[in-house]
Amino acid sequence: MKISENFCVLGFEIESDRLDIARSLLPVIILSGILAGIVELITRHYIIALTAGVASLLAIPVWLKSHSSERWHQLAWYFWLVFLLIIVFMTNTQLHRLESLIWSPLTPLLFFLLAGGSLGALLSSLSLISFLASYYVFPLVTQIEPIPPYEFFQVIGVYITTALLAYRYEKIRSHNRNLLLVQADRDFLTKLLNRRGLQKYLKMQLMYAENTKTPFSYVMFDLDNFKSINDRFGHDVGDNVLTKVAEITKNSLRATDFIGRWGGEEFSFILNMVEYKNAALIAEKLCENIRKTDFGIGEAVTISVGLTEYQTNDNIDSIVKRADVALYQAKQTGKDRIVSV
């Protein structure tokens, strides 16, 4: 399970799934670069042929090793950034050839595809400024007249339109993606974290505890006789009980603690920087808060609790198993109680 969905490039956060896009496009650029180099060599555009050939050769080791480590993952992305800048450079040196310019509107699509909204917008803007500046500098440097202004600004118009559409699409896609990520980690009924979301934060907490040597406690609890509540009062009442228990639990803990519905009538939470003795006091207070709440069924609702403290070399499976064993013991020894291991 990934802890983070992003990585950092040039100070901007890039979604990790864009690396897959970069890797999949590298073979295409290798073949395209070789073919473009051959064509430019035949037409005696030697500098462009050399640039395309070198870019293709550099892409081969990057592609072959792009799956092996995080360093090569980011190198694959950086290669694409450099390659797109090379495209801008090559276009700026061929402003007398309309066929060279017609590819330029594709660069914003690739910038946004690989870099996302913020960095994609920056790169697209810099590329546009480069085109505009080069168009007026080109005749002074090469003594060659560029293509007519109306043709050039038609291409620029298409470039700007493509960039705006790509930016708008990226904003919508990013919003929908973030919404789905939140929904994927949340329980629909209680609005707490679900098992997937809780495991993600538990893994983060384990890494933090290992690096900083700080304690934390992990607690699991189960509603006693919940099946009987469902059978006697119906599932709507049962859902209401679960929702209220979730609310009570949330209000009984700190904002820095992570709470989730593990499944069914079973919940769990992570108490950051809390040793098991204090965790037992917090759990006892939670039991009391639930016990004294009126759920509208004419009887008290109780919970059984199993808790454990982080131990060196713990992983998700080991710490969850200990808490689950403690919870099982609490259920077997009379319910409405706390057991720690």
159 and 19 both lie in a single domain? yes
Boundary of a domain, candidates 128, 154, 184: 184
Q: For residue 311, what are its two tokens?
A: 């131990």
Residue 2's pLDDT is what?
40
- Total domains, the chain: 2
pLDDT digits (tens, 9 = 90+) for 169-179: 888 988 888 88
CB 51 within 8 A of CB 90: yes
| Burial of residue 294 (number of CB atoms within 10 Å: 0-12, 13-18, 19+) | exposed
Percent of the chain with pLDDT over 70: 83
State the CB neighbour count (10 A cutoff) for residue 291.
12
Quote the crossing angle between the two packed helices 235-252 and 276-291, to the nearest 10°.
Answer: 140
State the CB neighbour count (10 A cutoff) for residue 225.
15
pLDDT digits (tens, 9 = 90+) for 316-337: 999 999 999 999 999 999 999 9
284 and 257 both lie in a single domain? yes
Within 273-331, strands assigned E span: 303-309
98 and 124 both lie in a single domain? yes
State the CB neighbour count (10 A cutoff) for residue 126.
13
Boundary of a domain, candidates 155, 184, 213: 184
- Of the residues 40, 265, 266, 309, only one is catalytic, namely 265
Angle at 148 between CA 142 and CA 150, to 5 degrees: 140
CA distance 202 to 208: 10
234 and 133 both lie in a single domain? no
Q: What is the mean pLDDT of residues 175-197?
A: 86
DSSP assigned state of 296: S
Q: For residue 324, what are its two tokens?
A: 């689950």
226 and 248 both lie in a single domain? yes
33 and 125 both lie in a single domain? yes
pLDDT digits (tens, 9 = 90+) for 264-305: 999 999 999 999 889 999 999 999 999 999 999 999 999 999
1 in any annotated domain? no
157 in any annotated domain? yes
Residue 242's pLDDT is what?
95
Q: Supply the range of the domain harboring residue 11.
A: 6-184
29 and 170 both lie in a single domain? yes
Q: What is the mean pLDDT of residues 243-257?
A: 93
265 is annotated as an active-site residue: yes
Residue 25's pLDDT is what?
72
CA distance 45 to 115: 31
Where residue 315 falls among pLDDT bands split at 50, 70, 90? very high
146 and 264 both lie in a single domain? no
pLDDT digits (tens, 9 = 90+) for 87-101: 666 666 666 666 667
22 and 146 both lie in a single domain? yes
pLDDT digits (tens, 9 = 90+) for 8-38: 555 555 566 666 776 777 787 778 778 878 8
Q: What is the CATH number of the domain that holds 250?
A: 3.30.70.270
